[in-house]
Amino acid sequence: MDKKAINQARSLYYIFFAKMLDFSSSDEGYKDVETLLPIFLSNPLDEGSYEALGAIQEKIKTEGFSALRAEYDEVFVSPESSFIPLSASYYDEGRDDGQKRVKAAGLVLRSKFRRNKPLCNDSEDQMVFAFRLMSTLIESGIEGDEESLNLAHTFFAEILNECIDDFAELLFTHEKSVFYKNTAIVLKAFSDFERLYLDVAPSQKVASAHRVSAVIQTDRKPLSQRIRRNLDEIVL
């Protein structure tokens, strides 16, 4: 098993998810997406993710990244569409800034990387930040920092593992989701691979009534528009 090659691929997938789930006002902000798609298509995780990646690539070719920006608004910002929680705490407790954020922040403090608080509004358990952090930790591990790889393992097992399936399901079933429906297919295949590679069992957590209500209530509307994030503001 070529662990270095596998870790390089893992890092790239996390970057891909972070870029797809972040908002960029310019096409340049999505350059990594355009670069990574043919790489993933040449060696896909499975048939389903191959078809999903191909669909994303074709839609970008025909409609451009302006279509992705418009869909981001409809899926994550519009008060007229179903609400998708973006923090691990929300999936755990039905609210942001819960115990998952505390645990995630503690793991970040154990690493040699820090959130640039003046520039980055995302909390440590927000999906975009988590994906970016995972990529950074894995890259550091490739360079020989074994502790970073250990922290990436812990972060996936204790933060992402319990919420990533629910998150992918909400992306897949959202009524405005096209780009993100296909992103969810790839995310699910990748999270299954991560569990296999890291020897992490799927979460068996039984959802509380409060948590279920928060996650699956399709007509829930946010109280205000959520701020668009710029991934470049997340300094790790």
Please give the residue that has the higher pLDDT: either 116 or 210: 116
Rounded CA separation 75/77 (Å): 6
Structure tokens at 228: 């668009």
Answer for the pair 133, 159: CB distance below 8 angstroms, yes or no: no
Q: Token match 């998952």: residue?
A: 100
**Nearest CA among 8, 233, 23, 15 for reference residue 133:** 15
Rounded CA separation 147/115 (Å): 18
Asked if the model's pLDDT at residue 116 lies above 70, the reply is no
What is the pLDDT confidence band of residue 231, given thresholds at 50, 70 and 90? very low
Which residues span the domain enclosing 173?
Answer: 3-233
Answer for the pair 23, 230: CB distance below 8 angstroms, yes or no: yes
Q: What pLDDT score was predicted for residue 122?
A: 79
Annotate 157-220 with three-state secondary structure: HHHHCCCHHHHHHHHHHCCCCCHHHHHHHHHHHHHHHHHHHHCCCCCCCCCCHHHHHHHHCCCC
Rounded CA separation 61/187 (Å): 21
Q: What pLDDT score was predicted for residue 120?
A: 60
Q: Token match 């078809």: residue?
A: 51
CB atoms within 10 A of CB 116: 10
CA angle 47, 175, 50 (to 5 degrees): 10
pLDDT digit string, tens, across residues 138-171? 999 999 999 999 999 999 999 999 999 999 999 9
| DSSP track, 70-88 | HHHIIIII-TTS-----BH
Answer for the pair 199, 190: CB distance below 8 angstroms, yes or no: no
**Residue 61's domain is classified under what CATH number?**
1.10.3480.10
Answer for the pair 93, 99: CB distance below 8 angstroms, yes or no: yes
| Number of domains comprising the chain | 1
What is the pLDDT confidence band of residue 84, given thresholds at 50, 70 and 90? very high
CB atoms within 10 A of CB 146: 9
* Mean pLDDT value of segment 2-28: 94
Q: What pLDDT score was predicted for residue 182?
A: 98
Rounded CA separation 165/25 (Å): 28
Q: Which amino acid is at 61?
A: K
pLDDT digit string, tens, across residues 200-226? 999 876 544 444 444 444 444 443 444
Rg (C-alpha) for the chain, rounded Å, is 17
